[in-house]
Amino acid sequence: MAAVTEDVKLTDELTRFIGEWQGKPGNLIMILHKVQEEYGYIPRPVAIQISKELDVPLAKMYGVITFYHFFKLKKPGKNKISVCLGTACYLKGGEDLINELENLLGVGVNTVTEDGLFSVEAVRCVGCCGLAPVLTVNGEVYGKLKKAQLPEIIAKYRNN
Amino acid sequence: MAKLTLNDLNKMREAPKRAPDIRVLVCGGTACESSRSDQIFENLKAECKACGIGEKVQVIKTGCFGFCEKGPIVKTLPDESFYVEVKPEDAKEIVEKHLKGGQQVERLLYKGEGSKTITSVEDIPFYKKQMRVVLRNCGVINPEDINEYIDNGGYKALSKVLFEISPDQVIEELKKSGIRGRGGAGFPTWMKWNFSKGVEDSPKYIVCNADEGDPGAYMDRSTLEGDPHSVLEAMTIAGRTIGANSGFIYIRAEYPLAIHRLEVAIGQSRALGLMGKDILGSGFDFDIELRLGAGAFVCGEETALLASVQGQRGMPKPRPPFPAVKGLWAKPTVINNVETWASIPEIIMKGGEWFAGIGTEKSKGTKVFALTGKISNSGLVEVPMGTTLREIVYEIGGGCPNGKKFKAVQTGGPSGGVITADYLDTPIDYEHLQQLGSIMGSGGMIVMDEDDCMVDIAKFYLGFTVDESCGKCAPCRIGGRHLLNYLNKISDGKATTEDIAKLREISGAMQRASLCALGQTAPNPVISTLKYFEKEYLAHIHDHTCPAGKCKRLIQYSINAEKCIGCSMCARRCPANCITQTVDTSKKKPPYAIDSQACLKCGECFTACKFGAVARK
């Protein structure tokens, strides 16, 4: 692997946040959350920079990042579709939604479409079980869904 | 805002308030908000203003009403009208006809059996058998306004603990109440507190487990969204009792609304001096911070959770030492789940004996369940312990929709098991559920009907636990994977009877040898489905059929040439292009046929055919 030693510039918000949390015990996960909030994922150069600033070995950081499903190492699509596969949604056809999205977008779970517009992921329970089956696009919840409604939802975001 | 003393707080509570003539409560829980309840809220306010009744009517956004099936919900007080499935454009009619004109909007009222309109909340069957202790303020107060919590008796329990009773009396009260941890295992809460109190070490910590990972459960989320102060108050009470000055709430990052409401609540508590230094002038300091989870189910296990709060990989540790003695940063830590915390202020105010009067011999108080799956009225349900499953599934839940037959109910999520129709009259408490091979768990209750395959359900849960195993101990890491492989073999129709024996053997090993509850309970869905539905497993093995028609590899689709009218609907919908027209010269439009080798078993043709010509076996 190429030796990346160049310092990257962190966003101002992130720098401020690190300043606020530096020295607090157990701060790593909170800082990683902030990184993901700022960049949509955890870019490697940023991880390297933070490892230096917090004086936490990079290996340890990646140990934590890869342990938790929430942290992403790949850049998601512009529109993030999360299909709920909690038990209620699974029983009511959450998997069919994933299959249909694959048909419509041509990409499976945890992949980004070629144009970078969409990515699909399966998530565990968004806590709207009364509305099962559910998916969210960029955090917006669509409930009591039928497969036939998906093209319309995708079109709404494609043209945005 | 100035910091309050005890006197100020009491005065504030007693001060006469000019109550609005009408209160309109709009559900602001996650499910209702996703159905645009925030727009309903804005529209109601605007319409009231436009009608000139803005002064008389107070519109507030509350936490979850629990009746998620019928959301968004709008309730009016004092007349208790209960409007369901409200849309933003309905606001005008509600304001003009009801709030101004005094006439209920009948078309929006909840319709009971036989489409009979129900005009008042108390007559709705969904609520009749419920008893709200934990959810006492959800759907009642505005969770983003500390004054409403205080007016509703909030922070009285804290005042009592700070100024009137001793820490020992608090523990005595908890002991009398008989409350047991609502996170799953049911450990007596007073004992945890007492252990930590007795350890001579400092600092000590208080932790709230809000890492609700059970897929299909959302009690904790709704409690935090609807009544965040009850948890803050209870944690402060615990701090005073055991001698801790700081607390952490470990909450799932997937719950943005709950996080927001907690942040607002913490800010308001600090501003009023109900959190921070010298609370209410008592000399006691206590502060709470949030820590976000990051999507690891194992972090619901207390030692794993504590590792995660410390910013590490969430891996469990062998116990003892228990967290009550060596927890966060190896210091004494009391860790309870959201529901347990939310019950505590009520126990302090109403007394342990009151709480112990609710429930069964060994399980006291109420329990909140998230009733979901194949059920007519899905939602959050709080009932006294000892209520039967039948009451919950049929009287509250309204049974399975679409005339389907009830098959089983799963409690305890991936750590629990299924309970069949034969046991529906079992009173729900920790002991009875365990006897049936399930557990109380955090409170997920998922109803399944005749279309659900039990092998598939076991596969679903095992898939989950395999994915969520932290990998530290071999029985869980390897055993889970093997269980899943055998289940896949069964659902593919490739298994033998010996594989069932293997399932049982591995399950037993995992139960005995896994390090934490995740691995110990992961085989439960397998064991319990095998216990009650072994026939279904055997049908997959011997007859290569899936009785529920769910396991794709075992389904065959075919077209009945007699019934087929040759409309081509199925062929046009088939994604595999494996349906073609036969060459039958005797018919003008020859019937279609499926090439079963190329068939993906997606079922598109089955749903497309309007003539019942596609058969599924």
* Residue B247 confidence class, pLDDT cut points 50, 70, 90: very high
Residue A5 confidence (pLDDT): 54
On whether both A36 and A90 belong to a single domain, the answer is: no
**Residue ranges of domains in chain B, CATH in brackets:** 20-123 (3.40.30.10), 146-356 (3.40.50.11540), 366-449 (3.10.20.600), 454-543 (1.20.1440.230), 556-616 (3.30.70.20)
Pairing assessment for the beta strands B379-384 and B287-292 based on DSSP bridges? unpaired
Q: For residues A56 and A63, what is the distance between their CA atoms, to the nearest angstrom?
A: 11
Inter-chain contact A129–B212, Cβ cutoff 8 Å? Answer: no
Residue of B196, B152, B197 whose CA lies nearest to B60? B152
The distance of A115 to chain B (nearest Cα, Å) reads 24
The distance of A83 to chain B (nearest Cα, Å) reads 13
Highest mean pLDDT among B126-130, B284-288, B561-565: B284-288
Residues of A in contact with B71 (CB under 8 A): 130-131
On whether both A85 and A60 belong to a single domain, the answer is: no
The answer to whether B59 and B48 have CB atoms below 8 angstroms apart is yes
Q: Check residues A154 and B576 and name the one with the higher pLDDT.
A: A154
Q: Tokens 């911070």 appear where?
A: B289
Buried b (16+ CB within 10 A) or exposed e, B424-433: bebbbbbebb
* Residue A1 confidence class, pLDDT cut points 50, 70, 90: very low
Answer whether A64 touches B (CB < 8 Å): yes
Give, for A156, the enclosing helix (H) or strand (E). helix A150-158
Inter-chain contact A68–B448, Cβ cutoff 8 Å? Answer: no
Residue B601 confidence (pLDDT): 85
Inter-chain contact A123–B254, Cβ cutoff 8 Å? Answer: yes
Residues of A in contact with B221 (CB under 8 A): 127
Sequential DSSP letters for B15-51: S-----SEEEEEE-SHHHHHTTHHHHHHHHHHHHHHT
Residue A6 confidence (pLDDT): 59
Tokens of A3: 């030796």
Residues of A in contact with B217 (CB under 8 A): 125, 129
Sequential DSSP letters for B423-470: GTT-B-SHHHHHHTT----SSEEEEEETT--HHHHHHHHHHHHHHH--
Residue of B536, B525, B515, B409 whose CA lies nearest to B465? B525
Pairing assessment for the beta strands B579-581 and B379-384 based on DSSP bridges? unpaired
Q: What is the pLDDT of residues A139-152, one digit of tens each?
A: 888 999 999 999 99
A2 assigned to some structural domain? no
Residue of B95, B38, B36 whose CA lies nearest to B61? B38
The distance of A93 to chain B (nearest Cα, Å) reads 11
On whether both A42 and A85 belong to a single domain, the answer is: no
Going by C-beta distance under 8 Å and a sequence separation of 6 or more, which residues neighbour residue A105?
Answer: A113, A118, A120, A154
Answer whether A85 touches B (CB < 8 Å): yes
Nearest CB neighbour to A88, from listed B254, B373, B461: B373
On whether both A90 and A136 belong to a single domain, the answer is: yes
Percent of chain A residues past pLDDT 70, beyond the cut? 96
The answer to whether B63 and B143 have CB atoms below 8 angstroms apart is yes
Q: What is the pLDDT of residues B457-498, one digit of tens each?
A: 999 999 999 999 999 999 999 999 999 999 999 999 999 999
On whether both A63 and A90 belong to a single domain, the answer is: no
Residue of B88, B43, B257 whose CA lies nearest to A141? B257
* Residue B100 confidence class, pLDDT cut points 50, 70, 90: very high
Inter-chain contact A125–B218, Cβ cutoff 8 Å? Answer: yes
Q: How far apart are the first and last CA of chain B?
A: 70
A20 assigned to some structural domain? yes
On whether both A57 and A84 belong to a single domain, the answer is: no
Task: Note the pTM of the prediction, 2 decimals.
Answer: 0.93
Phi, psi of A61 (to 5 degrees): -60, -45
On whether both A102 and A32 belong to a single domain, the answer is: no
A105 assigned to some structural domain? yes
Q: Which domain holds residue A132?
A: 79-158
B449: left (phi over 0), alpha (psi -120 to 50) or beta: beta
On whether both A21 and A91 belong to a single domain, the answer is: no
Residue B549 confidence (pLDDT): 87
What is the rounded average pLDDT of the residues B55-82? 92
Phi, psi of B286 (to 5 degrees): -160, 135
On whether both A109 and A141 belong to a single domain, the answer is: yes
Highest mean pLDDT among A23-27, B115-119, B458-462: B458-462
Tell whether the model's pLDDT for residue A119 goes beyond 80.
Answer: yes
Mean of the per-residue pLDDT values of chain B: 93
Inter-chain contact A91–B452, Cβ cutoff 8 Å? Answer: yes
Q: For residues A133 and A92, what is the distance between their CA atoms, to the nearest angstrom?
A: 6
Residues of B in contact with A30 (CB under 8 A): 291-292, 311
The distance of B218 to chain A (nearest Cα, Å) reads 5
On whether both A145 and A110 belong to a single domain, the answer is: yes
A138: domain CATH number is 3.40.30.10
DSSP A80: E
Q: For residues B13 and B11, what is the distance between their CA atoms, to the nearest angstrom?
A: 5
Domain end position, chosen among A23, A38, A67: A67
Going by C-beta distance under 8 Å and a sequence separation of 6 or more, which residues neighbour residue B50?
Answer: B95
Percent of chain A residues past pLDDT 90, beyond the cut? 72
A73 assigned to some structural domain? no
A93 assigned to some structural domain? yes
The distance of B180 to chain A (nearest Cα, Å) reads 24
* Residue B518 confidence class, pLDDT cut points 50, 70, 90: very high
Chain B's closest residue to A85, CA to CA, is: B215
Residues of B in contact with A130 (CB under 8 A): 31, 68-69, 71, 372, 378-379
What is the rounded average pLDDT of the residues A51-67? 95
The distance of B524 to chain A (nearest Cα, Å) reads 16
On whether both A151 and A83 belong to a single domain, the answer is: yes
On whether both A100 and A49 belong to a single domain, the answer is: no
SS3 B217: coil
Q: For residues B262 and B134, what is the distance between their CA atoms, to the nearest angstrom?
A: 17
Buried b (16+ CB within 10 A) or exposed e, B105-131: beebbbeeeeeeebeebeebbbbebbe
The answer to whether B282 and B242 have CB atoms below 8 angstroms apart is no
Q: Tokens 């505590």 appear where?
A: B344
The distance of A95 to chain B (nearest Cα, Å) reads 11
Sequential DSSP letters for A115-146: TSSEEEEEES--S-GGG-S-EEETTEEE-S--
A5 assigned to some structural domain? no
Inter-chain contact B313–A132, Cβ cutoff 8 Å? Answer: no
Residue B381 confidence (pLDDT): 95
Residue B604 confidence (pLDDT): 85
Buried b (16+ CB within 10 A) or exposed e, B211-242: bbbbbbbbbbbbbbbbbbbbbbbbbbbbbbbb
What's the half-sphere exposure (Cβ side, CA atoms, 13 Å) at B447? 31
Residues of A in contact with B377 (CB under 8 A): none
**Selected residue of B246, B372, B404, B472 to mutate for chain A interface (largest A Cβ count, 10 A):** B372
A72 assigned to some structural domain? no
Number of domain units in chain A: 2
Residue A7 confidence (pLDDT): 67
Q: Check residues B383 and B555 and name the one with the higher pLDDT.
A: B383
Q: Please report the residues numbered 137 through 156 in chain A whose beta carbons come closer than 8 angstroms to any beta carbon of chain B.
A: 139-143
A1 assigned to some structural domain? no
Among B178-187, B353-362, B413-422, the range scoring the smallest mean pLDDT is B178-187
